[in-house]
Amino acid sequence: MSKNPYEILGVDKNASDADIKLAYRKLAKKHHPDLNPGNKEADQKFRELNAANNLLSDKEKRAAFDRGDIDMVGQPRQYQQQQQQYRYRDFADGSRGRRYHTTTDDFDLSDLEGLFGGFGGRAGFGQASLDVHYIIEVDFLEAARGAKKRITMPDGKILDITIPEGVDEGQQLRLKGQGKQPSGDAYVKVHIKPHPFYTRTGNDITLDLPIALHEIVLGEKIQVPTIHGPTLMTIPKGANPSAMLRLKGKGVKGGDQYIKLKLTMPKTIDSELEQMIQKWSETHAYNPRKYMEAAT
């Protein structure tokens, strides 16, 4: 097996985190044992990919490898030299070292970004075999405002997780020392459930707000929902039905909330409204498409 994780993933030593993630996903999908049943070469390649990714996706381990402090499996170079009389297989399988093989527990091919679909996953080898990976689903508002979550691991261990305010989709949280042993870590990948009417871009929130005809024409102070609770907002008199209004500081972590007005007509137009609009149209020569006609 090559001892260089950059060569295994086919990336340059100066590759960005995004480049490494992309290369890993592409190669892991190609060599995944479930897609190559009985292919020992693919299985070995997959194990190498996991180990390379586990090392390069950890900033501290990557820096240590680049300095020459540790080898591919995370062992100090000095330790590797002292143990060079042992064959690699003996080291991997023997009691003096950790096993490097992977398992197929709970692997989800639909989640190739982290290559872990719940607990277990393919842990790679070396230190990574002591880590556990987990995907947690949180509500939109929990991700926006922050929350406390409690999960129970397969071995019955309970983990209390703090979801930070403004956590992003796919962000991975590290729980140090919460892996299979105290020296292993738990990595929790966050999946955010969509909200029925809020959308988020960065720290800004957007909301399509239904507005009645009289609120547009006359102007009105109305109550508007925000991720922090309802607040009052003034609809300007004669506002354009597609106008975008801003509520400063009502987004995520000091971001803003944008209100897009959406004129909503009643299901039925009664005779009173019809007559009033008819009379108004006969006395007012308002044509909102006049500028289009002049340009054609």
Give the separation between CA 141 and CA 193, rounded to whole angstroms: 9
Q: Give the mean model confidence (pLDDT) for residues 32-48.
A: 80
- As a dihedral over the C-alpha atoms of residue 126, residue 7, residue 65, residue 18, rounded to 10 degrees, the angle is -90
Gap between the Cα atoms of 169 and 85, Å rounded:
47
Res 110 pLDDT > 50: no
Q: How confident is the model at residue 7 (pLDDT cuts 50, 70, 90)?
A: very high
pLDDT, tens digit (0-9, with 9 covering 90-100), for 138-197: 999 999 999 999 887 767 778 889 999 999 999 999 998 888 777 888 889 999 999 999
pTM over 0.95? The answer is no
What is the CB-side half-sphere exposure of residue 7 using CA atoms within 13 A? 5
How many other CB atoms sit within 10 Å of the CB of residue 223? 8
pLDDT category at 296 given cuts 50, 70, 90 is low
Q: What is the dihedral of CA 252, 253, 254, 256, to 10 degrees?
A: -10
- pLDDT given for residue 125 in this prediction: 43
- Give yes or no for residue 95 having a pLDDT over 80: no
What share of the chain has pLDDT > 90, as a percent? 38
Per-residue burial over 81-95, b if 16 or more Cβ lie within 10 Å, else e, is: eeeeeeeeeebbeee
Coil, strand, or helix at residue 111?
A: coil
pLDDT score recorded for residue 231: 96
Question: Among 33-47, 60-74, 87-101, which stretch is predicted with the lowest mean pLDDT?
Answer: 87-101
Model confidence over 114-154: pLDDT tens digits?
333 333 333 344 455 688 888 899 999 999 999 999 887 76
Residue 77: its pLDDT value, please?
62
What whole-number distance in Å separates Cα of residue 56 and Cα of residue 180? 21
